[in-house]
């Protein structure tokens, strides 16, 4: 696939007023979500839940793509239609999570590196044949006493760049996600510093690996104080600091940036995105790639009657998509 075709897909992923729904939870993670609402984590229940999400009427008005887990990309609706076909027929681009999760970084207590590069070329080739047109790889950067180390940031940036180069080789748009974790007591200034260093390292590695930025999407964490920090930040401060950090690190040639919700409340994730777009114009489209902030309310509704509450749950999915779609335009009124 040419860079022009990759660029077209990347631009479609951040089309005005549209974002990405992340439903790529691993089996272990979705089990925790199901356990919290009393739903048994069987393959059929996982399939039914994801069908409810992906077949929400008019979802493509505000959703451009969805990140799937390996199991989900291989599944079909109750009527036997592959999810990837359902999505493409409805104007939603199929994406796939391809990393193998985080593992302890040897020699650096409290730090992790994402694995999954072994065999990735063959997996990407198969995912393309199954219908995926973009992929996602998540790195995790923890903030704590004397961490993150430069070694941790460099190791994760290198892995993200190798992954991104392999994606483009196989015709998939890479979504690179260096998540600076919100957990901790650090203040917003510390988060800014760590995010800035991480993004500088990432884009340096992408350049060194000949990754074409025109066919790449950044999934970014916002600049936030730690979850247990006593000094809270306003919506406007978070938006201003996040924009300042991005403008100092992210090349303008990137087609767009989507944000992760990262443990924020549904309302805060939407409000922060809206405030950043109100402060525009910005060098790139700013949109969303939310998981919990798109799903949690709908999961609560669906879990109460997984056969009978599909309609009400889908109405909630659409409402969350609509709110975040408006926020991606700076038009959300709260």
* Helix H or strand E segment including 127: helix 120-130
* Residue that the structure tokens 């104007």 belong to: 91
Give the DSSP letter of residue 62.
Answer: T
**C-beta of residue 169 within 8 angstroms of C-beta of residue 128:** no
One-letter-per-residue 3-state SS of 134-179: EEEEEEEECCECCECCHHHHHHHHHHHHHHHHHHHHCCCEEEEEEE
Q: How far apart are CA 24 and CA 66, in angstroms?
A: 8
Residue 189: CB atoms within 10 A of its CB come to: 12
Q: What is the rounded distance in angstroms from the CA atom of residue 249 to the CA atom of residue 196?
A: 7
- Annotated active-site residue 177? The verdict is yes
Catalytic residue among 18, 97, 136, 219: 219
From CA 66, how far away is CA 25, in angstroms rounded? 12
Q: Which of 25, 51, 177, 241 is catalytic?
A: 177
Per DSSP, 279 falls in state T
Residue 271 neighbours by CB under 8 Å, 6+ apart? 235, 327, 332, 334
Question: Is the previous residue joined to 21 through a cis bond, with omega within 30 degrees of 0?
Answer: no
Residues tagged active-site: 177, 219
């Amino acid at each position: 696939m040419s860079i022009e075709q990759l660029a077209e897909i990347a631009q479609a992923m951040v089309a005005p007023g549209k974002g990405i729904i992340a439903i790529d939870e691993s089996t272990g993670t979705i089990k925790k979500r199901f356990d919290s609402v009393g739903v048994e984590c069987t393959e059929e229940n996982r399939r039914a839940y994801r069908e409810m999400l992906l077949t929400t009427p008019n979802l493509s008005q505000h959703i451009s793509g969805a990140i799937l887990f390996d199991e989900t990309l291989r599944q079909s609706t109750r009527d036997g239609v592959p999810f990837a076909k359902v999505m493409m027929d409805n104007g939603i681009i199929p994406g796939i999570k391809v990393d193998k999760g985080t593992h302890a970084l040897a020699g650096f207590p409290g730090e992790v590196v994402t694995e999954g590069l072994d065999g990735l070329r063959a997996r990407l080739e198969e995912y393309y044949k199954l219908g995926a047109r973009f992929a996602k790889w998540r790195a995790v950067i923890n903030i704590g006493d004397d961490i993150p180390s430069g070694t941790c940031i460099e190791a994760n940036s290198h892995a993200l760049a190798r992954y991104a180069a392999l994606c483009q080789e196989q015709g998939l748009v890479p979504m690179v996600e260096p998540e600076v974790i919100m957990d901790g007591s650090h203040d917003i200034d510390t988060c800014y510093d760590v995010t800035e260093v991480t993004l500088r390292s990432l884009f340096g590695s992408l350049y060194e690996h000949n990754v074409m930025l025109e066919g790449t999407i950044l999934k970014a964490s916002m600049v936030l104080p730690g979850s247990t920090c006593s000094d809270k930040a306003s919506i406007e401060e978070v938006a201003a600091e996040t924009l300042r950090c991005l403008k100092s690190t992210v090349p303008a040639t990137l087609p767009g940036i989507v944000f992760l919700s990262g443990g924020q409340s549904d309302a805060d994730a939407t409000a922060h995105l809206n405030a950043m777009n109100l402060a525009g114009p910005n060098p790139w489209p700013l949109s969303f790639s939310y998981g919990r902030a798109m799903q949690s309310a709908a999961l609560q509704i669906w879990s109460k009657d997984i056969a009978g509450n599909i309609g009400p749950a889908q109405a909630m999915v659409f409402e969350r998509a609509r709110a975040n779609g408006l926020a991606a335009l700076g038009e959300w009124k709260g």
